[in-house]
Structure 1
Amino acid sequence: MKNVVITGTSRGIGLELVKLFAEEDFNILALSRNAEPVSSIELDNVSAFSFDLGTEVDLKKASDFVENEWNGKVDILIHNAGAFLNKPFQETALEEFRRIYEVNVFGLIGLTQQLMPFMDSSSHIVSISSMGGVQGSMKFAGLSAYSSSKAAIITLTELLAEEYKESGPVFNVLALGAVQTEMLAEAFPGLEAPLSAAEMASYIKNFSLTGSKFYNGKLLQVSNSTP
């Protein structure tokens, strides 16, 4: 039975991922500031606790769980958590930029470092980025903090894949287009996306299970629309 860690599981794609993996009896650690949506599902193979990516104590709590409850083994890590801001650049305080990067970049780095000792060449780390972070893609005013942080994830994935290509784990990143989530509603009020959170979660789940056989250090653009 594979052990799967997923961040950002209180709503949207993250919550749908938990449900999909649970249906196939994977062991799941669901990490989010709000653990209630997952805890209320009451599934034996799903563990959830309140978790802040920006807190070292919480990062250590995740690694302690893996070591004590899963005998120190992580097969899949999905970095789905993301902080969002839609605000003109000149009106965005430096502290607001730091907040976005703290979750989208530094939190991702911190959790990866904590869980790497429990991963091997067969393990797969999948980071969720955005089409807005892809070089040459259409950009939107107001998303300077968010999209630039998502661009950082893409380059980081390429670098880590190179650094660990001999020993593993495998690193890949998915740049998502429009998906009908709460975050999309914040970014583009009134926009109706062609894909639901459940549909995108199904794709991400399948990719996390099979993509490591075909890709390493790759950016895959998962979008059929703009934005």
Structure 2
Amino acid sequence: MKTILITGASSGLGREAVKLFASEGWNVVATMRSPEKETELNRLANVLVTWLDVLDQESINTAIRMGIERFGRIDTLVNNAGYGQNGIFEGISREQIRKQFDTNVFGVMDVTRAIIPHFRENGGGTLINISSCGGLIGIPNISIYSSSKFAIEGFTESLSYELASQNIAVKLVEPGGFESNYGAVTEQNKPALPLPDSYGGFAEEMNRFFSWLSTDKGIDSADVAKVVYEAATDGEDRLRYTIPGIVAPLVEARQTMGNQEFVEMMRSRLKA
């Protein structure tokens, strides 16, 4: 039986991934910031629910150690923990920006750094980072979240070349909007600073822009979990697994247009 460690397993994609891997016969180390509140996952066979806060290095080391002690080894890591930050850049405080990057970027790097020696000792492993189509396309009103995911994209692609020499597969899963608790989390992280009045008209443009995108997400956390499972098990030397979801029109445009053509299209949509 293979073993997978999943961060951010208390809700959404992480939670669905724990259920799916467990149902497929994997041992699962389901990590979260408040494991004492969990009442479902800890009842599943071959699932260890334990504490891991990506902002706390001790918790990272402890979770990995407990997973190894329980199951003997860890074969795959899914860096799923993270959250969204909506809002125009000028409305987001320096503290909010640092928290976003500490969680979405530096937390991922710290968990990754902690697991690599174990993978090397085992002769290999698989690392899957959960990114976003917002890491492929600069989308207005999520500049901080988008830039954190752009960082994950660059980090993971570069790392994939480095770790290939260590027999460690590195992959990216890139959802593009799906039914999850993203909205509820961003509601708790509203921009802290007042915006200049001159942004008033831009808010209306943003409403028109997002109405142009599909309002039917069409996928949910369970669907994305299936793609994570595919990435973990297909044995392919593939870096990106893209799930366009609600931003499918933007993903298609980015893939088919030249850079300047795409930028001009975006600007025209925001002025429509």
Normalising by the residue count of structure 1, what TM-score does the alignment of the two structures yield?
0.88
Higher share in helix: 2
Question: Which one has the largest radius of gyration?
Answer: 2
Q: Which amino acid aligns with 1:12?
A: G
How big is the shift at 1:206?
Answer: 1.8
Evaluate the alpha carbon distance shift between residue 110 and residue 130 of structure 1 in structure 2; reply closer, same or farther with a 3 A threshold: same
In structure 1, the partner of 2:236 is: 213
Q: What SS does structure 2 have at the residue aligned with 1:9?
A: coil
TM alignment of 1:156-195, pairs within 5 A: 156-184=155-183, 186=186, 191-195=215-219
In structure 1, the partner of 2:244 is: 223
- State how many pairs are aligned: 220
Cα-Cα RMSD: 2.3
In structure 2, the partner of 1:127 is: 129
Q: Distance in 2 between matches of 1:152 and 1:116?
A: 20
Q: Distance in 1 between matches of 2:245 and 2:57?
A: 38
Evaluate the alpha carbon distance shift between residue 39 and residue 75 of structure 1 in structure 2; reply closer, same or farther with a 3 A threshold: farther
Q: Distance in 2 between matches of 1:47 and 1:67?
A: 11
Evaluate the alpha carbon distance shift between residue 76 and residue 9 of structure 1 in structure 2; reply closer, same or farther with a 3 A threshold: same
Q: Distance in 1 between matches of 2:12 and 2:161?
A: 31
Q: Distance in 1 between matches of 2:245 and 2:45?
A: 36
Q: Distance in 2 between matches of 1:38 and 1:205?
A: 23
Alignment check: 8 A CA contact 1:39 1:48 kept:
no
Greater CA deviation, 2-11 or 167-176?
Answer: 167-176
Deviation track 1:108-128 (CA, whole Å, cap 9, x = no partner) reads 111111111111454111111
Q: Distance in 1 between matches of 2:44 and 2:117?
A: 27
Greater CA deviation, 159-168 or 8-17?
Answer: 159-168
Evaluate the alpha carbon distance shift between residue 46 and residue 67 of structure 1 in structure 2; reply closer, same or farther with a 3 A threshold: closer
Q: Distance in 2 between matches of 1:118 and 1:195?
A: 34
Q: What SS does structure 2 have at the residue aligned with 1:226?
A: helix
Q: Which runs of 5+ in 2 are unaligned?
A: 188-209, 249-272
Evaluate the alpha carbon distance shift between residue 220 and residue 40 of structure 1 in structure 2; reply closer, same or farther with a 3 A threshold: closer
Q: What SS does structure 2 have at the residue aligned with 1:77?
A: strand
Q: What SS does structure 1 have at the residue aligned with 2:131?
A: strand
Deviation track 1:154-201 (CA, whole Å, cap 9, x = no partner) reads 11111111112221211111211121111056488xx54110111111
How big is the shift at 1:226?
Answer: 1.4
Greater CA deviation, 27-36 or 92-101?
Answer: 27-36
Evaluate the alpha carbon distance shift between residue 118 and residue 38 of structure 1 in structure 2; reply closer, same or farther with a 3 A threshold: farther
Q: Which amino acid aligns with 1:132?
A: G
Normalising by the residue count of structure 2, what TM-score does the alignment of the two structures yield?
0.74
Alignment check: 8 A CA contact 1:105 1:149 kept:
yes
How big is the shift at 1:2?
Answer: 0.3
Greater CA deviation, 153-162 or 31-40?
Answer: 31-40
Q: Distance in 2 between matches of 1:196 and 1:39?
A: 22
Q: Which amino acid aligns with 1:101?
A: F
Q: Distance in 1 between matches of 2:48 and 2:114?
A: 18
Deviation track 1:89-122 (CA, whole Å, cap 9, x = no partner) reads 1121111111111111111111111111111454
Q: What percent of counterpart residues are identical?
A: 28
How big is the shift at 1:87?
Answer: 1.9
Q: Which amino acid aligns with 1:171?
A: V
1:118 matched to 2:118: yes
Q: Which runs of 5+ in 1 are unaligned?
A: none
In structure 2, the partner of 1:70 is: 71
How big is the shift at 1:38?
Answer: 4.9
In structure 1, the partner of 2:226 is: 202
Evaluate the alpha carbon distance shift between residue 184 and residue 201 of structure 1 in structure 2; reply closer, same or farther with a 3 A threshold: farther
Q: Distance in 2 between matches of 1:43 and 1:20?
A: 11
Deviation track 1:134-160 (CA, whole Å, cap 9, x = no partner) reads 1xx3x3322111110011111111111
TM alignment of 1:135-154, pairs within 5 A: 137=137, 139-154=138-153
